[in-house]
Amino acid sequence: MKKAIVVTLFLIYTLPATAGGFGKFKQRVIDIDSTDFVPSKRWYRPGQNSRSKIKKVVEILSESRTGKKLLSKAARKAVKENKSIEDLFEIGEGSLLDTTLVRRFSPNDPESIQYETRSTIFINKTHSYYNAVLDMAHELTHYTFRKAFNPYIGDFDPGEFVRSTVEGRGGEVEAYLVECKVMYELFPTRASKNSNCGMVKNPETGKLSKKLATEQFYRIGRHNRSYQKALVDYNISSAEFPYLSPGEATFISSAWGLPYPVAALKEYKTIMGKVCQNDQKRLVLMRKNLGRLPASSAASPRQRQYKSFYSSYRNRCTKFM
């Protein structure tokens, strides 16, 4: 039996170290039918039933108007993947959305490729209920709204990847804002302690502002000089990022320990490094399947396909190999 080759590419979206939200917010009182719900209490301990604990955090999030809408939209997407909303979550060392892009092709037919995306949201097992709920809102925003991308197909542009990661639909800014809005709705007494949410609130209207949040997320501090050089190396015009600022960075990627625009470009490089390794393996298989043809023979469709793919590989991967 011929076996298909499976190549995986892991795309991880992490949460900021802080929280945020947008639009008007309304304070609410959580009405969870449980005697053991305390926001500061650890949400999960080893040995407990993980499914029931995840369900409880989902219930708490659903008490927020914003959370309820988010869960509803996420559930509709999960159904398409034959999952319930609880099926999306696992206990983890940290909180993140882990998206795996699976690429399948046969060794005898490497030109024919099938792609599949799988997503799992991990919630930090050491968090309090308060942080677990906010993390869930944050990662669900990524899962529900962020546009899927395939770095193997088309022009996987680094500038567009950074913009999408930071300010795009379902990106870090929006996930932060949703997180903060949930905080205001469910935990209003803690709002005064979260100064970072206040940083993105319009002082005149009292509303949380995506513009102010975007400005904050593009502050890269001491990384400004090296980042400007990196933009040149990747042929990215700094005009693509009008909010980019050398101001002190407040929002730091927990995965990279770097401001989000810097982290996004690092992630792009990591993704492309893996993509190019996988494409190199695919080229070896394609070349092997060509066999030997007389020099006078006309190029076969497979030869033309190989040459086209090889040219594309060289253009895309010179910087990453």
pLDDT in tens, 128-183: 999 999 999 999 999 999 988 889 887 899 999 999 999 999 999 999 999 999 99
* Centroid of chain to Cα 282: 26
Are 185 and 64 contacting, i.e. CB atoms less than 8 angstroms apart?
yes
pLDDT-flagged residues of the chain (< 70):
1-36, 106-111, 192, 194-195, 291-299
Convert the pLDDT of each residue in 39-76 to its tens digit. Answer: 999 999 999 999 999 999 999 999 999 999 999 999 99
The predicted pLDDT at position 294 comes to: 53
E-strand ranges in 77-203 read: 89-92, 96-106, 109-124
The predicted pLDDT at position 27 comes to: 38
The predicted pLDDT at position 191 comes to: 73
